[in-house]
Amino acid sequence: MEKYKKRFSLILADDHPLYLEGLVSVLHGEFMITGIAADDKELFTLLKSSQPDVTLIGLKTPGSNGINAVREISLLYPEIKIILFSLAYDKALEEELKLAGIKGYLLRDVNVNTLADKINRVAAGEMVFDYDACQDQEMPRYRTSA
């Protein structure tokens, strides 16, 4: 965090409670986590009361395919930077997500230090996408940790 003078605020949204708890556990020292949501309804309730610097959203949560949530957040809260994370990386979907307003698209198996760095970079105004890390650019990629 040395290179970022501000401690950015963050809302996390995903439908897997264990994954959310893990994210909170590893990110709470680096970011001000202002809320966690299990679905879009909870996410939008949180966004009404706490508009974070960044929202980290699982691509598919109950009641959403991710893209609709991105579009709505971008429309209602254009200052909030949105990062989607997923098990698979789809280059065609990335283009649609960029048009919807996303600032980052990451694979779920990113390591903790890299994740924190990428969130900080998005909060500071960069766009961050994991596609460059994938070797096969012809089809969606699935990565597994070694």
In a domain, 136, yes or no: no
In a domain, 76, yes or no: yes
The domain spanning residue 55 has which CATH number?
Answer: 3.40.50.2300
The yes-or-no verdict on residue 31 having pLDDT over 60 is yes
Tell me, what's the pLDDT at 143? 46
The yes-or-no verdict on residue 140 having pLDDT over 50 is no
pTM, full prediction: 0.83
- What domain range is 53 assigned to? 9-129
In a domain, 146, yes or no: no
Specify which residues 105 forms β-bridges with. Answer: 84, 129
Alpha helices in 2-138 (DSSP H): 17-27, 40-49, 67-76, 91-100, 112-123
Domains identified in the chain, total number: 1
